[in-house]
Each structure stands twice: as C-alpha cells, then as structure tokens.
Amino acid sequence: MRWLDARGIEYEAIDVISDEAAFDEMIRLSNQDLAPVIEVDGDVLADFGPDQLAVFWQKIERKHARA
C-alpha cells in the first residue's frame, strides 16, 4: 500500500490468501472477492487503485473534520 506508506498512514495488512476467515470477512465487508479492500470506520473501498484511494481518503478526512 505505497499510497498509504507515502503519507505515513498506519494500516493493518491482512493476508486473505492464507487466512480463510480473513477472506470471508473481506467478502462480508465488500460484497466481492477482489483485493485490496480498505475499511475505515465502516466506510469500505474495494478493488481500487491509487486514484480511487485518494478520493476515498479525502472523503474520510472530510468526515472526520466534521466530527
């Protein structure tokens, strides 16, 4: 997750290939079976690239600024 690393954003990487329960949780969260998936405070982004992640992260930051 170079985009997150470049911005100093901490995250937990979970290997959904070797962990069946994690794979099932990914499907439950995202309603699909493609990685990567990111979940932040209930907001989910699945099967994304850097541009989609940037837009998603801006929404998260705006949401937290209002809280």
Q: What is the pLDDT of residues 26-41, one digit of tens each?
A: 999 999 999 999 999 9
Interatomic CA distance for residues 25 and 7, integer angstroms: 26
Interatomic CA distance for residues 50 and 57, integer angstroms: 10
- Matching residue, tokens 């290939």: 17
Please state the pTM of the whole predicted model: 0.86
Is the pLDDT at 1 greater than 90? The verdict is no
- Across the chain, mean pLDDT equals 96
pLDDT at position 9: 95
CATH classification code of 2-66: 3.40.30
